[in-house]
C-alpha cells in the first residue's frame, strides 16, 4: 500500500528527505505529525506538519512543503510560534 500525499511537491520532498536520512544528514523523519494549539487550556485548532525530523545538530525541525501559502496556513504558522515556540520551515519547489 502506497503513501498518499497532498501534492507532487510534497511527495518529491519526502523522497529528498528520505535520501538525506539515508546519508545521515537528518534523523527521526516522520510524516503528518499533529500539533494541538491550546490557549488557556482550550484547544483552538490543530496543525498537521508534513514532516518533522532532527538536523545534524539535533535541532527539531517542523517542515511544510508548500506550493501556495493560504491564509489559514499563515495563521497556524503564527500560532505555532506564539503558542508552541515552533518555527515552521517552508520548503518550496525551485
pLDDT of residue 1: 54
pLDDT of residue 94: 76
Cβ neighbours, 10 Å, residue 47: 22
Could you read off the pLDDT of 4-60 as tens digits, one per residue? 888 899 999 999 999 999 999 999 999 999 999 999 999 999 999 999 999 999 999
Task: Please name the residue that has the C-alpha cell 504558522.
Answer: 77
- Say if CB 36 and CB 43 are below 8 A apart: yes
pTM: 0.90
For residue 35, the number of C-alpha atoms closer than 13 Å in the C-beta half-sphere is 23
- Say if CB 66 and CB 90 are below 8 A apart: yes
Amino acid at each position: 500500500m502506497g503513501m498518499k500525499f497532498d501534492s507532487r511537491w510534497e511527495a518529491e520532498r519526502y523522497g529528498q528527505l528520505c535520501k538525506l536520512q539515508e546519508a545521515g544528514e537528518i534523523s527521526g523523519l516522520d510524516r503528518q505529525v499533529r500539533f494541538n494549539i491550546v490557549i488557556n487550556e482550550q484547544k483552538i485548532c490543530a496543525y498537521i506538519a508534513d514532516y518533522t525530523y532532527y538536523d545534524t545538530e539535533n535541532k527539531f525541525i517542523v517542515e511544510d512543503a508548500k506550493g501556495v501559502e493560504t491564509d489559514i496556513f499563515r495563521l497556524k504558522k503564527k500560532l505555532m510560534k506564539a503558542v508552541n515556540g515552533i518555527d515552521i520551515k517552508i520548503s518550496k519547489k525551485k
